[in-house]
């Protein structure tokens, strides 16, 4: 068992720094990407509140395929460029979507989702995966959440 407990008094940047450090510590020395993504998804679920889904889609043969996650069962394959995840992967850029209903092409895996944050994981200049966070609250995510999940993506990019 690993006991990583976020301190509720932490500022958001500090919370994400702790999350990235915990993830870095968990993946250190472990070569299995599935195990590392599974633990990273569990940490996001534990550290970040007001989520209904958190996890990975991996780049496989030019498209996205569902990876380890927390939340309800989700769409398995997402073509590059489609949905919020496909946009993040195609552009190699974080997508911060305050209202998923206003995002053309949003893929509704869980009808409860109202806002979404998707961060590409980049290794050697290539998008190898995306980290997807969904919330039932509109506008749940801001630039600090985006920066925090980008920090997590950097911390685990070599290990997934």
78 phi and psi angles, rounded to 5 deg: -130, 115
132: contact with ligand SME by CB under 6 A: yes
CA distance 94 to 79: 17
Give me the least distance between CB of 21 and ligand SME, in Å please: 26
106: contact with ligand SME by CB under 6 A: yes
CA of residue 73 relative to chain centroid, distance: 15
Give me the least distance between CB of 75 and ligand SME, in Å please: 6
CA distance 39 to 24: 10
Give the nearest residue (CB) to ligand SME: 83
146: contact with ligand SME by CB under 6 A: no
In the range 57-96, which residues lie near ligand SME by CB under 6 A?
74-75, 78, 83-86
44: contact with ligand SME by CB under 6 A: no
CA distance 9 to 107: 35
């Amino acid at each position: 068992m690993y006991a990583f407990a976020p301190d509720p008094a932490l500022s958001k940047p500090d919370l994400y720094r702790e999350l990235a450090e915990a993830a870095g510590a968990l993946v250190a020395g472990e070569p299995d990407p599935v195990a590392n993504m599974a633990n990273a998804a569990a940490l996001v679920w534990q550290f970040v509140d007001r989520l209904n889904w958190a996890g990975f889609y991996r780049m496989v043969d030019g498209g996205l395929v569902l990876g380890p996650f927390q939340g309800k069962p989700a769409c398995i394959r997402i073509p590059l460029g489609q949905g919020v995840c496909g946009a993040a992967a195609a552009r190699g850029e974080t997508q911060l979507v305050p209202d998923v209903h206003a995002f053309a092409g949003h893929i509704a895996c869980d009808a409860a989702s109202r806002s979404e944050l998707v961060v590409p994981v980049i290794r050697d200049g290539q998008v190898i995966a995306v980290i997807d966070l969904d919330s039932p609250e509109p506008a749940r995510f801001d630039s600090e959440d985006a920066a925090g999940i980008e920090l997590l993506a950097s911390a685990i990019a070599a290990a997934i």
